[in-house]
């Protein structure tokens, strides 16, 4: 059989790592376009994830049996629709369904329509409107959130606490127009975030072990937002009571709403949740697995990801009862100096040492192999280290002891990482 993974980050390496364990003999695993880590377990294909025609043609010519899509961009661009034109099985939502992530205006109208608890939001189309709504938010709450309508790789959400910051946020989104020219002005909800992610065929929803991401670059949730600096499972913030509230108040109304709107959603659906005083609110949908949340989830998945993929594709997910390891998993991301600003581009091509470290799962992201065999940094987030343990504490100790020169662990010059991944779970 032939399987393709689309993408080049840690999430895609984690999918490929899991799939590789399930493939035999003549089976083939491809990753487009992959990284130096996926090259060790699969054939990297030099086609960019947003080259929909190129990927469709590759899958058609090579008779790919099943494709998993990692990042949001190809989904929003319609890779699923394109594959389906040729009868190529693929795991992911189609272009209409992917709007849940691709357009914040679309997703907020959807939450409104189906009465899904979310921050109060108003979509605006002009700078004047945005500033006027922002002023009202400042007067009412003393703080507000401006969200770009389109995809922004985690950068399109700006919190403002005064008029100057409001003007800067609106300027960044609407005038510089980097992520679509509409903006959703939103109430700021203070609380604790959790990632509630699951496989779905539009009818059945199978949650992954609950995770918590660490979005800011520095310890104690300080500094600018990133794609995610670490994750762990299972997050104790999701108690049974909160889980029930999320399932009944957010997940099931979403599936019913999609059905009512005639939208078929197949793939992974990610609910970005904020929990305030025991009540969950939906901040956003993502139409894919999280990065780095996928890394601990794949480390814990004992059932076949291939079977799950086929079941999603065929709309028979109700037949799957996934088995998860009862252990805990902690993932720590190592990033390049200067990340998340573009400054990191001045600090690339640093040799990465210790990649043969045993006892942890190393998922590559921004890595590249040189002709002399050395693996060097080539991106903002470079690798993520996942360790398992009987408790979160054990998994955390195992992950951190595989990092750094002093541990003979994974290391590169200028390496940046948070030292408090999963610390919240230990305080809980
Ligand atoms: N780690 C956050 C995300 O994948 O969106």
Is the CB of 296 within 6 Å of ligand 1? no
Percent of the chain with pLDDT over 70: 99
**DSSP summary character for residue 147:** E
198 in the same domain as 166? no
DSSP, res 120:
-
72 lines ligand 1 (CB under 6 A): no
Which of 71, 72, 154, 282 most suits a substitution to test ligand 1, by most atoms within 8 Å of the C-beta? 154
Give the end of a domain, one of 302, 319, 336: 319
For residue 5, give the nearest of 73, 55, 60 by alpha carbon: 55
My answer on whether 181 and 197 are in the same domain is no
Question: Does one domain contain both 337 and 297?
Answer: no
How wide is the angle at C-alpha 91 spanned by C-alphas 87 and 95, nearest 5°? 80
The answer to whether residue 102 sits within a structural domain is no
Take atom 2 of ligand 1 and give the residue whose Cα is closest.
290
* Residue at a domain's end among 270, 295, 319: 319
- Is pLDDT of 155 > 80? no
290 Cβ inside 6 Å of ligand 1: yes
Mutate which of 225, 293, 363 for ligand 1 pocket (most atoms within 8 A of beta carbon) = 293
Q: What is the model's pLDDT at position 105?
A: 93
CA of 132 to the centre of ligand 1 (A): 30
Give the per-residue SS3 of 311-352: HHHHCCHHHCCCCECCCEEEEEEEECCCCCCHHHHHHCCCEC
pLDDT at 428: 62
Are 221 and 291 members of one domain? yes
- For the segment 406-427, what is each residue's pLDDT rounded down to a tens digit? 989 999 999 999 999 999 999 7
297 lies in some domain: yes
Domain presence at residue 101: no
* 198 CB near ligand 1 (under 6 Å): no
Q: Averaged over 320-342, what is the pLDDT? A: 97
Q: Is the pLDDT of residue 27 over 90?
A: yes
* CATH number for position 69: 3.40.50.20
Q: What is the mean pLDDT of residues 124-142?
A: 94
Residues 224 and 295 in one domain: yes
Per-residue pLDDT, averaged over 299-321, amounts to 97
Question: In the chain, how many domains are there?
Answer: 4
Out of 140, 163, 187, pick the residue that ends a domain: 187
310 found inside a domain:
yes
Average pLDDT over residues 91-111: 97
Decide which of 397 and 156 is more confident.
397
What is the SS3 string spanning the chain? CEEEEEECCHHHHHHHHHHHHHCCCCCEEEEEECCCCHHHCCEEECCCCCCHHHHHHHHHHCCCCEEEECCHHHHHCCHHHHHHHCCCCEECCCCCCCHHHHCHHHHHHHHHHCCCCCCCEEEECCHHHHHHHHHHHHHHHCCEEEEECCCCCCCCEEEECCHHHHHHHHHHHHHCCCCCCCEEEEECCCCEEEEEEEEECCCCEEECCCEEECCEEECCCEEEECCCCEEEECCCCCCHHHHHHHHHHHHHHHHHHHHHCCCCCCEEEEEEEEEECCEEEEEEEECCCCCCCHHHHHHHECCCHHHHHHHHHHCCHHHCCCCECCCEEEEEEEECCCCCCHHHHHHCCCECECCCCCCCEEEECCEEECCCCCEEECCCEEEEEEEEECCHHHHHHHHHCCECHHHCCEECCCCECCCCCCHHHHHC
pLDDT of the residue at 348: 96
285 and 398 housed in the same domain: no
In the predicted model, is pLDDT for residue 179 greater than 80? no
Instruction: Indicate the angle between helix axes 10-22 and 305-314, nearest 10 degrees.
Output: 100
> Do 368 and 308 belong to one domain?
no
Strands 90-91 and 66-69: parallel
Q: How far apart are CA 34 and CA 175, in angstroms?
A: 34
Ligand 1: does its nearest atom lie under 6 Å from the Cβ of 284? no
What per-residue confidence (pLDDT) applies to 2?
98
Could you read off the pLDDT of 366-388 as tens digits, one per residue?
A: 999 999 999 999 999 999 999 99
The angle subtended at Cα 368 by Cα 384 and Cα 50, nearest 5°, is 85
Residue of 286, 294, 340, 380 to test ligand 1 pocket, by largest number of atoms within 8 Å of CB: 286
Together in a domain, 50 and 163 = no
Between the CA of 26 and the centroid of ligand 1 the distance, in Å, is: 34
The reply to whether ligand 1 has any atom less than 6 angstroms from the CB of 293 is yes
Does residue 146 fall inside a structural domain? Answer: yes
For ligand 1, the distance from its centroid to the CA atom of residue 406, given in whole angstroms, is 30
Residue nearest atom 5 in ligand 1 by C-alpha distance: 290
Residue 284 is assigned to a structural domain of this protein:
yes
Same domain, 204 and 306: yes
User: Is residue 291 within 6 Å of ligand 1 at its C-beta?
Assistant: yes
Within this chain, do residues 378 and 397 fall inside the same structural domain, yes or no?
A: yes
Could you identify the atom of ligand 1 that is nearest to the CA of residue 289?
4
Q: What is the mean pLDDT of the chain?
A: 96
Mean pLDDT of 358-366: 97
- The answer on 84 and 45 residing in a single domain is yes
Q: How far is the CA of 86 from the centre of ligand 1 (A)?
A: 30
User: CATH number, domain at 213?
Assistant: 3.30.470.20
Whether residue 314 sits in one domain with residue 212? yes
Residue 153's pLDDT band (cuts 50, 70, 90): confident
Q: Name the percent of the chain lying above pLDDT 90.
A: 93
Q: Which pLDDT score, from 0 to 100, does residue 229 have? A: 97
pLDDT at 351: 98
pLDDT bin (cut points 50, 70, 90) of residue 182 is confident
For atom 4 of ligand 1, the residue with the nearest CA is 290
The residues that bridge with 186 in the sheet, in sequence order, are: 121, 145
CATH number for the domain harbouring residue 417: 3.90.600.10
pLDDT value for 32: 98
Residue 201 Cβ < 6 Å to ligand 1: no
228 CA: nearest ligand 1 atom: 1
Over residues 180-199, mean pLDDT: 92
Query: In this structure, is residue 9 part of a structural domain?
Result: yes
The answer to whether the CB of 228 is under 6 A from ligand 1 is yes
CATH number at residue 143: 3.30.1490.20
Q: Report the pLDDT value the prediction gives residue 176, as an integer from 0 to 100.
A: 80
Distance of CA 407 to the CA centre of its chain: 29
Q: In this model, does residue 180 exceed pLDDT 90?
A: no
Residue 99 lies in a domain: no
Parent domain of 241:
192-319
């Amino acid at each position: 059989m032939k399987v393709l993974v689309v993408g080049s980050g840690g999430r895609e390496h984690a999918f490929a790592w899991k799939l590789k364990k399930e493939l035999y003999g003549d089976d083939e695993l491809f990753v487009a376009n992959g990284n130096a880590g996926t090259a060790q377990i699969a054939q990297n294909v030099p086609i960019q994830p947003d080259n929909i025609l190129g990927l469709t043609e590759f899958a058609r010519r090579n008779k790919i049996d099943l494709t998993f899509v990692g990042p949001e961009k190809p989904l929003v661009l319609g890779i699923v629709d394109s594959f389906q034109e040729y009868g190529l099985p693929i795991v992911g939502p189609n272009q209409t369904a992917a709007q849940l992530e691709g357009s914040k205006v679309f997703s907020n109208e959807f939450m409104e329509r189906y009465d899904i608890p979310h921050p109060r939001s108003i979509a605006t189309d002009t700078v004047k409107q945005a500033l006027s709504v922002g002023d009202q938010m400042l007067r009412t709450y003393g703080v507000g959130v401006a969200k770009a309508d389109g995809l922004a790789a985690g950068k399109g959400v700006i919190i403002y606490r005064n008029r100057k910051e409001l003007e800067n946020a609106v300027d960044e989104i609407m005038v510089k127009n980097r992520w679509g020219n509409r903006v959703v002005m939103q109430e700021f909800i203070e609380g604790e975030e959790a990632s509630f992610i699951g496989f779905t065929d539009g009818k059945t929803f199978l949650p992954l072990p609950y995770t918590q991401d660490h979005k800011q670059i520095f310890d104690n949730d300080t500094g600018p937002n990133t794609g995610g600096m670490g994750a762990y499972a299972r997050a104790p913030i999701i108690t049974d009571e909160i889980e029930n509230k999320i399932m009944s108040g957010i997940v099931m109304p979403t599936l019913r709403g999609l059905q009512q709107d005639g939208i078929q959603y197949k793939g992974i659906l990610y609910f970005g949740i904020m929990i305030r005083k025991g009540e969950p609110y939906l901040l956003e949908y993502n139409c894919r697995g999280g990065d780095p949340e996928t890394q601990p989830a794949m480390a814990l998945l004992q059932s076949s990801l291939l079977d799950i993929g086929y079941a999603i594709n065929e709309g028979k997910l109700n037949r799957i009862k996934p088995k998860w390891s009862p252990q805990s998993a902690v993932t720590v991301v190592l990033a390049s100096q200067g990340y998340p600003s573009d400054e990191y581009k001045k600090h690339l091509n640093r040799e990465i040492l210790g990649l043969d470290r045993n006892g942890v799962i190393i998922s590559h992201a921004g890595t590249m192999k040189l002709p002399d065999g050395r693996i060097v940094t080539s991106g903002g987030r470079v690798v993520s280290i996942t360790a398992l343990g009987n408790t979160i504490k054990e998994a955390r100790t195992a992950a951190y002891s595989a990092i750094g020169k002093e541990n003979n662990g994974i290391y590169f010059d200028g390496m940046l990482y948070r030292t408090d991944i999963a610390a919240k779970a230990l305080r809980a």
